[in-house]
Amino acid sequence: MSRAASSLESNPYYKSDDHLAVLLLPTFLKLLLKIPLVSSLFGKVVAPRGTYEYVIARTKYIDEIFQQVLAEQFDQILLFGAGFDTRAIRFNSVSQDTIFFELEITATQTAKIQQYQKRKLAIPSNVVFVPIDFEKDSVSQKLDEAGFRKGARSLFILEGLLMYLHRESVDKMFRIIKEYAGKGSRVVFDYIYASVLRRENLYYGEQDIVQSVAKINEQWHFGIEKGEIEQFLLLYGFRLRDHRDAKALEDAYFKTPDGKIVGRVNGTHCLVTAEIV
């Protein structure tokens, strides 16, 4: 919904490029979002403070990384918990030599493929869907069976995922990435500050987003202490390449030429790009 609403924005600071997100929505939601007032209310009233802006910034940021590694002719891109992400189609023409792997639970992945087919969106031959039961299946086995190559230069994307996992699951996931990542591989992910789990309410929009997560019966389990991201990455053999907190995201995507910030980003999340050492 956020990506679809953003793609329909006229304000260039709020507009992002996921034009396919609108096509994947049910028709009545698509029609609603095309009403400017509804779209504006969704972003600024319905969503927790700063969350719409954060999703826009995150989409733009990961889009940039995605296109960058395609231009550098990375061998593989793996999306953990791909959901309804559309990058494998949106950016496929940049490099058809890169193989895209989408790892997701069967029900969500099936629904996505059905929507692609229903909307007559062709699925490129270099996109590999990998259905998985995260509770029962071995990620390594699933990747091996799908043809994901160990040691190849790869991009790993974990978008909106880590905070929902327990620490042991995060540890296991990063050890798998380390095992499969070739020299020069990168990983992009977002995380929340550990203080958010303690409900210290230190950041803009924190109380709103915590309450929103609780209302939909979701639970956040994992966070990283402020200032400890480099230590976290070193545990798995990665070095920090780029780190963006809310202020950095505002400066990058919501600052006008005269220095005015036109959109405040929820302060609970950060974005990271790391590279194998």
pLDDT-derived band at 47, boundaries 50, 70, 90: confident
Q: Are 155 and 184 in contact (CB under 8 A)?
A: no
Whether 34 has a pLDDT exceeding 90, the answer reads: no
Alpha-carbon torsion, ordered 263, 91, 67, 134, to 10 deg: 80
CATH superfamily entry for domain 48-276: Vaccinia Virus protein VP39 (3.40.50.150)
**DSSP 3-state assignment of 48?**
coil
Question: What pLDDT is recorded for position 83?
Answer: 93
Distance, first Cα to last Cα, the chain:
37
> What's the rounded mean pLDDT across residues 26-38?
83
Question: What pLDDT is recorded for position 93?
Answer: 82
Query: Which of 67-71, 91-95, 269-273 has the least mean pLDDT?
Result: 91-95
Average pLDDT along the chain: 93
* 213-235 confidence digits (pLDDT tens): 988 878 999 999 999 999 999 99
Question: What pLDDT is recorded for position 178?
Answer: 96
Question: What pLDDT is recorded for position 215?
Answer: 87
Whether 41 has a pLDDT exceeding 90, the answer reads: no
> What's the rounded mean pLDDT across residues 247-264?
97
Length of the chain, in residues: 277
Whether 247 has a pLDDT exceeding 80, the answer reads: yes
Q: Give strand ranges (E) for the chain.
A: 76-80, 99-104, 127-131, 154-158, 186-192, 238-244, 269-276
Q: Are 248 and 35 in contact (CB under 8 A)?
A: no
Beta partners for residue 231, in sequence order: none
Task: Give pTM, 2 decimals.
Answer: 0.95
- In terms of Cβ atoms closer than 10 Å to its own Cβ (0-12, 13-18, 19+), residue 87 is buried
Measured CA to CA, the distance from residue 127 to residue 116 in angstroms comes to 13
Q: Count CA atoms within 13 Å of residue 15 on its CB side.
A: 7
Whether 173 has a pLDDT exceeding 90, the answer reads: yes
Measured CA to CA, the distance from residue 199 to residue 268 in angstroms comes to 11
Sign of the CA dihedral running 99, 104, 107, 112? negative
Whether 44 has a pLDDT exceeding 80, the answer reads: no
Question: What pLDDT is recorded for position 211?
Answer: 92
Query: Which of 49-53, 75-79, 95-99, 198-202 has the least mean pLDDT?
Result: 95-99
* 55-88 confidence digits (pLDDT tens): 999 999 999 999 999 999 999 999 999 999 999 9
Question: What pLDDT is recorded for position 43?
Answer: 72
Nearest to 96 by CA among 64, 126, 117, 66: 126
Measured CA to CA, the distance from residue 70 to residue 221 in angstroms comes to 33
Question: What pLDDT is recorded for position 138?
Answer: 93
Q: How many CB atoms lie within 10 A of CB 108?
A: 14
